[in-house]
Amino acid sequence: MAPAGGPGAKKGILERLESGEVVVGDGSFLLTLEKRGYVKAGLWTPEAVVDHPDAVRQLHTEFLRAGSNVMQTFTFSASEDNMESKWEAVNEAACDLAREVAGKGDALVAGGICQTSLYRHHKDEVRVKKLFQLQLEVFIKKNVDFLIAEYFEHAEEAVWAVEVLKESGKPVAATMCIGPDGDMHGVTPGECAVKLVKAGAAIVGVNCRFGPSTSLKTMRLMKEGLRAAGLKAHLIVQSLGFHTPDCGKGGFVDLPEYPFGLEPRVATRWDIQKYAREAYNLGVRYIGGCCGFEPYHIRAIAEELAPERGFLPPASDKHGSWGSSLNMHTKPWIRARARREYWENLLPASGRPFCPSLSRPDN
């Protein structure tokens, strides 16, 4: 199967999903740009779109080349309460960068908002909604293709976000950063999904905080909740690029390795191919990643689902399927690894003989 050619006529997000098309999301920005020296850990705010636009543009481009259909604006935590006077310039620059790169392929631009610091301290609906409204005004001005309310640990605040975003008339996706135990107020995943759909979200699911296998468990519960309520919605999953089976309810942020010692937990490309296939079999058609999800992970999704999509991403031109490029190696034991069975059954070692395989969360 040859890599895809140039961009074609762009269909909207709902048109794609309603036709059964697989939409491949993008991946990690905050953690990846922190490692590259462009984001500071702590507040995790995205000033890089103004201070280092080339770095953000490059990462968008890598995800596009790897197969992403969506360029999500790098506007995580870019609300007025986190960025004060800089918030508007950051949101505008993020939209411009995403649009610029999306125009080089068959990708849509998604304007993204996330949970606020204000909600955790005051739970003031009017003030929280005002913060969302300010970002939405920029997204409308920049004419993004659709909107994503992501990374919400409380269903109530996520519902508020959806209620604001749907006023734009653009399609709205909403993702919670929860695991199978539900949100921080005890709302189950199924109940969260129902609340989001009733609020107006057309696409619902989870992102961040948990690894691939845990995220898919949560997606099953969301799907069951929607079915039981007689509701329909498109499903989205954008998990971590890390294995986190030892997480508590708060997810990977409570692990002692967060955020600077997570590298031993990184999923392999083969782990992500399995994640993509399981998500697809579950009925999820918008599949991407979040923190720790590098461009080669996105390529793994695109390659695993190439039979369904009908093409490979441009980055596959430099990647042999299931290690097939190793066939030309001079050493026979390495040539023997050029097969799917080898990589599917590999149990990778960490190379750290005195380290545990699991950790105890701090909270």
List CB contacts of 38: < 8 A, sequence separation 6 or more. 48, 51, 52, 55, 56
Tell me what pLDDT residue 1 has.
Answer: 62
Residues 5-33: what's their mean pLDDT?
A: 89
Tell me what pLDDT residue 26 has.
Answer: 98
Token pair 């301290």 is found at 121
**DSSP-derived 3-state class of residue 220:** helix
Residues 312-332: what's their mean pLDDT?
A: 95
Q: Is the pLDDT of residue 8 over 80?
A: no
Cα–Cα distances in Å, from 34 out to 29, 39, 235, 266?
8, 4, 29, 16
Percent of the chain with pLDDT over 90: 94
Write down how long the chain is: 363
pLDDT 10s digits, 188-202? 999 999 999 999 999
The mean pLDDT of the chain is 96
Tell me what pLDDT residue 29 has.
Answer: 98
Q: Determine if the peptide bond prior to 259 is cis (ω within 30°).
A: yes
For the chain, domain boundaries: 13-312, 323-348
Tell me what pLDDT residue 4 has.
Answer: 52
**DSSP-derived 3-state class of residue 44:** coil
Written as one letter, the residue type at 85 is S
Range list of β-strands (E), 194-314:
203-207, 234-239, 286-289
Spatial separation of the C-alpha atoms in residues 167 and 153, rounded to whole Å = 23
Is 208 annotated in a binding site? The answer is yes
**DSSP-derived 3-state class of residue 230:** coil
How sure is the predictor about 6, in pLDDT bands with cuts at 50, 70 and 90?
Answer: very low
Lowest-confidence segment of 77-81, 170-174, 294-298 by average pLDDT = 77-81
Is 290 annotated in a binding site? The answer is yes
Q: Is the pLDDT of residue 9 over 70?
A: no
DSSP H helical segments within 9-124, as ranges? 13-18, 30-35, 48-51, 53-66, 80-83, 87-102, 117-122
Spatial separation of the C-alpha atoms in residues 21 and 16, rounded to whole Å = 5
**DSSP-derived 3-state class of residue 170:** coil
Residue 267 is classified by DSSP as P
Spatial separation of the C-alpha atoms in residues 14 and 134, rounded to whole Å = 25
pLDDT 10s digits, 132-176? 999 999 999 999 999 999 999 999 999 999 999 999 999 999 999
Q: Is the pLDDT of residue 362 over 80?
A: yes
Token pair 């800089």 is found at 86
User: What backbone torsions phi and psi does residue 92 show, to the nearest 5 degrees?
Assistant: -65, -45
Closest alpha carbon to 73 in 85, 88, 86, 90 = 90
**13-312 — its CATH code?**
3.20.20.330
Tell me what pLDDT residue 7 has.
Answer: 44
Q: Is the pLDDT of residue 2 over 60?
A: no
Range list of β-strands (E), 240-328:
286-289
**Are 195 and 155 a contacting pair, CB within 8 Å?**
yes
**Are 69 and 108 a contacting pair, CB within 8 Å?**
yes
CB atoms within 10 A of CB 317: 10
Tell me what pLDDT residue 120 has.
Answer: 86
